[in-house]
């Protein structure tokens, strides 16, 4: 039996991105386990995997405590589980796990695969921070059998900085979007109307939607500033997600007297319905790997405004959305106005985006993982046979 261990820093990553892969490979007869901090309290993960492993680490990638306790837990789990492949995601889990297994790989087992959901060094990052994370990625690259990148900027960066030999670098367009779930056909007009009633919107009130954590990296304050510059009292804006900027954002809305126009919805499970109810999805991040909300909106045929950063540019290039410079709230406001004033052109843009998103469909990404794992397994056997 082939054995696969998926590792992420927190169970939210596993729940949000990896459950379809676990289901697929378990149906193929694999044993699929998972490791994360707090995973044993996640009912979804307990059901989705054959076994789950608890590990203690901090989400701060520079916390030295991560290298004191977690490596011993990882080594013991991998030794007991006898995994053929360990597939790591997210920076902390990826670095610590590869560090812990750096000597095990000399025996040819397990093969270690790292999917980078956006390198922590990037054009908008600070010089010192970029230098530190670049050095860490280059160091960990020597402990990695395959590096998977999910946008073309990271692919070029991996080659340019020689993070891993080119023959062990793979580009995959993300971790997949389920086009059956994120589909207009899967959301009824009644559900859309119910959401609009919840937000006290009239049938003709345009709604802008911003989906993501309210964190500095996502720049939700830029979306709010641009919405303020729009100066259209008949338009509404909704934020989906929680985060440390929530209270600050709510206070600002109150100060502006826009409580009737701006809504904070917290965590939601009806994202497809909200996207269908919106005229546009807006993302103002300074750093992304391949933004899931943009892919979801493209699948729902809802036009997108995004910042000109890696990942987002991959998705919206070629007229599949509007791109503005990061931090340019005036340009963001103009893009929002364009969406309102040019509904037919916006619809054509959304249709073009829908055609592109087929390349990112979940089943295609699963097939690419199958191919990568098949490539890794013979390599493992070859290493064992040669004695290296």
pLDDT tens by residue, 223-256:
999 999 999 999 999 999 999 999 999 999 999 8
- Do 351 and 203 belong to one domain? yes
- Do 127 and 194 belong to one domain? no
- Do 157 and 302 belong to one domain? no
CATH of the domain at 251: 3.40.50.2000
pLDDT band at residue 122 using 50, 70 and 90 as cut-offs: confident
CA distance 90 to 13: 8
pLDDT at 125: 81
pLDDT tens by residue, 354-364:
999 999 999 99
- Do 72 and 89 belong to one domain? yes
- Do 220 and 163 belong to one domain? no
Neighbours of 103 (CB within 10 A): 10
pLDDT tens by residue, 167-199:
999 999 999 999 999 999 999 999 999 999 999
- Do 76 and 213 belong to one domain? no
- Do 163 and 192 belong to one domain? no
pLDDT band at residue 105 using 50, 70 and 90 as cut-offs: low
Give whole-number Cα distances, 284 to 101, 288, 304, in Å. 37, 10, 11
pLDDT at 121: 85
- Do 71 and 128 belong to one domain? yes
- Do 300 and 381 belong to one domain? no
Using the predicted structure, report yes or no on whether residue 383 has a pLDDT greater than 50.
Answer: no
- Do 349 and 247 belong to one domain? yes
Domain assignment of residue 22, given as a range: 3-175+362-386
Using the predicted structure, report yes or no on whether residue 382 has a pLDDT greater than 70.
Answer: no
What's the whole-number mean pLDDT along residues 256-271? 95
| Domain count of the fold of the chain | 2
> What is the CB-side half-sphere exposure of residue 107 using CA atoms within 13 A?
11
**pTM exceeds 0.85, yes or no:** yes
Q: What is the mean pLDDT of the chain?
A: 93
């Amino acid at each position: 039996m082939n054995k696969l261990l998926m590792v992420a820093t927190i169970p939210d990553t596993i729940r949000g991105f990896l459950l379809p892969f676990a289901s697929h490979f378990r149906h193929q007869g694999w044993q699929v386990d998972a490791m994360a901090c707090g995973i044993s309290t996640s009912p979804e993960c307990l059901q989705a995997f054959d076994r789950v492993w608890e590990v203690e680490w901090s989400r701060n990638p520079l916390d030295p405590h991560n290298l004191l306790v977690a490596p011993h837990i990882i080594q013991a789990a991998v030794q007991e589980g006898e995994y053929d492949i360990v597939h790591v995601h997210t920076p902390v889990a990826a670095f610590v796990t590869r560090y812990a297994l750096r000597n095990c790989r000399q025996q040819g087992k397990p093969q270690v695969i790292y999917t980078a959901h956006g390198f922590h060094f990037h054009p908008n990052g600070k010089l010192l921070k970029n230098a530190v994370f670049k050095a860490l990625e280059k160091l960990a690259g020597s402990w990695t059998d395959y590096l998977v990148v999910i946008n073309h900027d990271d692919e070029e960066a991996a080659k340019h900085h020689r993070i891993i030999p080119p023959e062990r670098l793979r580009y995959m367009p993300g971790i997949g979007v389920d086009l059956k779930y994120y589909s207009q056909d899967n959301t009824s007009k009644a559900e859309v109307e119910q959401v609009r009633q919840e937000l006290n919107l009239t049938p003709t009130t345009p709604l802008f939607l911003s989906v993501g954590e309210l964190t500095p990296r996502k720049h939700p304050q830029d979306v709010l500033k641009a919405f303020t510059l729009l100066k259209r009292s008949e338009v509404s804006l909704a934020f989906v997600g929680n985060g440390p900027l929530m209270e600050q954002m709510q206070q600002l809305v109150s100060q502006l007297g826009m409580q009737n126009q701006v809504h904070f919805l917290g965590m939601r499970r009806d994202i497809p319905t909200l996207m269908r109810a919106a005229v546009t999805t807006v993302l103002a991040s300074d750093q992304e790997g391949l933004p899931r909300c943009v892919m979801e909106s493209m699948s729902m045929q809802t036009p997108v405004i995004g910042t000109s950063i890696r990942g987002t540019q991959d998705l919206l290039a070629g007229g599949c959305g509007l791109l503005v410079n990061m931090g340019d709230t005036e340009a963001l406001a103009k893009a929002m106005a364009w969406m309102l004033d040019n509904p037919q052109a916006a619809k054509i843009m959304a249709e073009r985006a829908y055609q592109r998103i087929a390349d990112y469909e979940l089943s295609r990404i699963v097939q690419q993982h199958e191919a990568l794992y098949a490539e890794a397994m013979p390599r493992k056997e070859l290493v064992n046979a040669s004695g290296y």
